[in-house]
Structure 1
Amino acid sequence: MRRAFLSVVLLVSAFLILPASPATAAPYCGLVWGSLVKSAPGLSQAPVTDVRTGRHACYDRLVVDVAGDAGGYTVSYVPQVVQDGSGYPIATRGGAALQITVNDPAHDTSYAPTYSPANALELTDVAGYGTFRQVVFAGSYEGYTSLGLGVRARLPFRAFVLDGPGTSSRLVVDVAHRW
């Protein structure tokens, strides 16, 4: 009986002393976006009209407003943001850079600018943001408009188009504060 009791005590002790297997960490804020290229096909002549940013609890958001149905887009991490047409490099602050190409021009059908930032190297003030470090205008060429987004580090992001208000639409790019 004593031997059986000692066996049970040793067995229970072994379970208490052995380290537990590491639990799988829950995704940050439930975000499971990843950091690979995000894109959608399509081309539109609806012009870009504005670029704005916002802060959220788990991510920073960039919004590109389009006057009509937005075309497609491509968003990807790049070694350096480049200007449309010329390929001229544009330096951005931060540990990583996203090149954002909207398949919409920044001019109307008469080639009058519909989006002409006062400072192409500082589209919005992102001081105090968790992830964003700088938003730059990389130009509009042959129906495409490009932006550069300097971020703290290569972090997960998502990109999608929202309709409205009215007949307008907008490309949204969210970048998580951490993995």
Structure 2
Amino acid sequence: MRRTRSAVAAVALAGSLLVVPSTATAATTTAAPWCGITWGSTPKGTLPWTAASLTGVRAGQHDCYDRLVVDVRGSTVGFRVQYVSQVLRQGSGQPLALRGGASLDVTINAAGTSPALNSSEMVNVSGYQTLRQVAWGGSFEGQSTVGVGVRARLPMRAFVLTDGTTSRLVVDVAHRW
């Protein structure tokens, strides 16, 4: 009787070991991206040069990402958004200190002349899940830089919305991978 129970237990254990790995593999290969985000963390950008000017910067929180919006007076605007080891100030090339585990360099092909933009705390992002700091990196020869301190190097996307006379550069940074 003991031998029968031992044999049955051994067969059951062996069978369960064969089933568990295949179930775990199937679950991991069919899982959907978190919130459907498939953006990645590679540089984003477009090239247009215009006579646009920066008018403001603001931020917002969404369920799956934090958003930075750069308002521009002009119908089109070129930009480049990329993760860098250090954001550099326009004109001087000096490093811009940012809080967070990663730094996003947001360069906009638009002049920023308003004194209200010149701040190491352009937008209050305290309490945000991903954004840690938004700082002015200066404007020089028609290009402006905004440094964004981010919690970590997370997926991001960038795109421009326009209504004919004004544009908005939108930068979304996911809360997680």
Shift of 1:119: 5.3
Letter in 1 for 2:132: R
The Cα of 1:68 is off from its aligned counterpart by 1.5
Shift of the alpha carbon at 1:38?
A: 0.6
How many Å apart are 1:15 and its aligned residue? 7.5
> In structure 1, what is the equivalent of residue 84 of structure 2?
78
> 1:138 and 1:58 mapped to 2: Cα distance?
27
1:118/1:104 CA distance change after superposition, 3 Å: closer
Task: Report how far residue 37 of structure 1 moved.
Answer: 0.6
* Alignment partners' CA distance in 1, 2:106 and 2:16: 53
Segments of structure 1 that go 5 or more residues without pairing to the other structure are 1-9, 107-112
> Which secondary structure does the structure 2 equivalent of 1:117 belong to?
helix
User: Which residue does the alignment assign to 1:57?
Assistant: 63
Misfit runs of 4+, over 6 Å: none
Letter paired with 2:19 = L
Deviation digits for residues 21-79 of structure 1 (CA, Å, limit 9, x no counterpart): 24223111000000011111111111110000000010000000011223210000011
Q: CA deviation at 1:122?
A: 0.1
Q: Are residues 1:87 and 2:87 paired?
A: no
Q: Do structure 1's residue 178 and structure 2's residue 176 form an aligned pair?
A: yes
- So what's the TM-score if we normalise by structure 1? 0.84
Which residue of structure 2 aligns with residue 7 of structure 1?
none
Unaligned runs of at least 5 residues, structure 2: 1-10
Normalised TM-score (structure 2): 0.85
Any conservation in 2 of the 1:70–1:171 contact (CA below 8 Å)? no
Secondary structure class of the residue paired with 2:176:
coil
Structure 1 contact 70–103 (Cα < 8 Å) conserved? no
* Count of matched residue positions in the alignment of Structure 1 and Structure 2: 161
* Counterpart selection for 1:31 from 12, 27, 37: 37
Residue 118 and residue 37 in structure 1: after superposition, are their counterparts in 2 closer, same or farther (change >3 A)?
closer
Q: Write the letter of the residue equivalent to 1:167.
A: T
Percent of pairs with identical residues: 52
* 1:80-118 CA-partner distances (Å, limit 9, x unpaired): 111001101011000000000001111xxxxxx3x3226
> Are 1:18 and 2:19 matched, yes or no?
yes
Offset from partner CA, 1:118-165 (integer Å, 9 cap, x none): 65100010000010000000000000010000000000000000012x
Structure 1 CA distance, aligned partners of 2:78 and 2:130? Answer: 25
Match of 1:158 in 2: 157
The one-letter code matched in structure 1 to 2:99 is R
CA distance in 2, matches of 1:157, 1:118: 23
Letter in 2 for 1:103: N
> How many angstroms apart in 2 are the aligned matches of 1:94 and 1:26?
28
Q: 1:142 maps to what in 2?
A: 141
State the shift of 1:14 in Å.
3.9
Work out whether residues 70 and 170 of structure 1, in 8 Å CA contact, stay in contact via their aligned partners in 2.
no
